[in-house]
Amino acid sequence: MRKLQAHIILLGLCAILLTSCSALFGDKNDDQVNDVFKQGAIDPNLIPQSVGYVPLYPYFSGFSNPVDVFVGYDELIYVVDDNGLNILDQKGTRYQIIPIPGATDVTQDRRLHTYVAGRISLPRGPGGSMVNLAAVYHLTNTATGNYTIVDTLIHPDCDDSRGITAFRGADDEAVQFTGITCLHDNSLYVTRTGPRNDPNSFVRPDNTILLYDAAGKNTGSAVGLSSSSASLRSCLGVSSIAGYAAPPQRLEGMNTSKSFFITQIDNQPIEYRVLGITVTDDPDAGTQYTETPSLLNFDVSKGDRFMYEPFRFKKPVDCFIAPDNLQYIFVVDSETDSLYIFTNQGVEGVNPPATFTSRKQVIVSFGGTGIDGTTNGPYNFNDPSGVCYHRRVVYIADKGNNRICRFILNTDLQ
């Protein structure tokens, strides 16, 4: 009798355990899981033979037009939207909103100092009238809930080439800071756009990349990038910038490269809207900014599509370089409502699993509208505006759906 009771108890515990596991992880018969795999064109029975991204639920919601997302060195998730800077933990719990007017971009350096591109209103116009200017807010202690704004880089005063020029009124108000990224030494790159781009002017063009040291001092700009005509070294309507140093911290040290990628959304026809710029320090000629030659190699033995195909993108608004050894490059295009993934050599796709006979990169880019017109399904985006990557997870600021989406390669789940 005792043995029978023990068996009944054991069976009951097993049933509870199996039910709990299904609730936590889903199973192949779960409607939601089946829908996820259906949307992603991934058969759950063939995961080892298929490669693609799968959603990580829950998506984070409750935002108002989120335009950028960044996972910091402090492991917190930073999202900028109409309300300013939202700070979330890894579970998506929002515990603070810092009001930053016109916030468009966010990043963090290795000191855990947070930078937000936005706007600021102050008296500067005729008779001391208020004007609205581009600004980068420099904050500390964002993880503690008791933040401090220690500095604000305000256009045009944060550009030392403008030190002897007068305020330009509406033209200066039209200037925008569109992207920010920090390097390994806590220096800062800031992308800028605006209407004044005379290459013969003695001050820097509005379309440029400004450089700042860790103390916030303007140390120059990306000299040699064209501010007015499209090329492999242009800087037209720059919408974002991505460097090679990014969280998490690593014992073997950070990538010390000064090179970067930018995205361009200027209205003029531009063949190559996502550009890799190689930065080298020459003892004689100074810092040089040149195109990245390896991106021009269309090796069809390695892939079927490439970053530098003419007119590959419509409106790329953000990019991010994975800081791990794979260095995949992620690009979101707000016009095609899609996420694109490339190798650091510009080949579209990710490495094929060992079980694949073909050694070409496997294209895993996705997005767009569903076949039934869906714009808010698990694999659909509506005006995606920001992207980042942290510990194998891709985060998308899905602006039109007011959510932050998360994805992971199914091959990384094994």
pLDDT at 3: 42
Report domain extents, the chain.
1-39, 40-413
Instruction: Tell me: pLDDT of 12 over 90.
Output: no
d(CA 10, CA 392): 38
**Average of pLDDT values for 44-55?**
65
Q: State the Cα–Cα distance between residues 365 and 342, nearest whole angstrom.
A: 9
Residue 50 has a pLDDT of 78
Burial 174-202 (b: 16+ CB within 10 A, else e): ebbbbbbbbbbebbbbbbbbbebbeeeee
* Between residues 254 and 67, the one the model is more confident about: 67
Domain 40-413: which topology?
Neuraminidase (2.120.10)
State the residue for tokens 């699993």.
Answer: 353
Query: Mean pLDDT, to the nearest integer, of 205-226?
Result: 96
The string of pLDDT tens digits covering residues 137-155 is 999 999 988 999 999 999 9
Averaged pLDDT for residues 153-180: 96
Structure confidence at residue 414 (pLDDT): 61
Task: Give CA–CA dist 133/404, Å, rounded.
Answer: 28
pLDDT at residue 41 greater than cutoff 90: no
What pLDDT is stored for residue 373 in this prediction?
83
Other CB atoms within a 10 A radius of the CB of residue 136 amount to: 24
Mean pLDDT of the 309-323 span:
97
Q: What is the mean pLDDT of the chain?
A: 88
Spatial distance between the Cα atoms of 322 and 320, rounded to a whole number of angstroms = 6
Q: Report residue 208's pLDDT band, with 50, 70 and 90 as the boundaries.
A: very high
Report, as an integer, the average pLDDT of 375-384.
94
Average pLDDT over every residue of 156-175: 95
The pLDDT of residue 405: 97
Evaluate if residue 277 carries a pLDDT over 80.
yes
pLDDT band at residue 252, thresholds of 50, 70 and 90? confident
Confidence of residue 249 (pLDDT cuts 50, 70, 90): confident
In 3D space, the residue among 312, 309, 324 whose CA is nearest the CA of residue 389 turns out to be 324
pLDDT for res 316: 98
pLDDT score of 49 more than 80? no
pLDDT class for 86, splitting at 50, 70, 90? very high
Task: Name the strand (E) or helix (H) holding 69.
Answer: strand 68-71
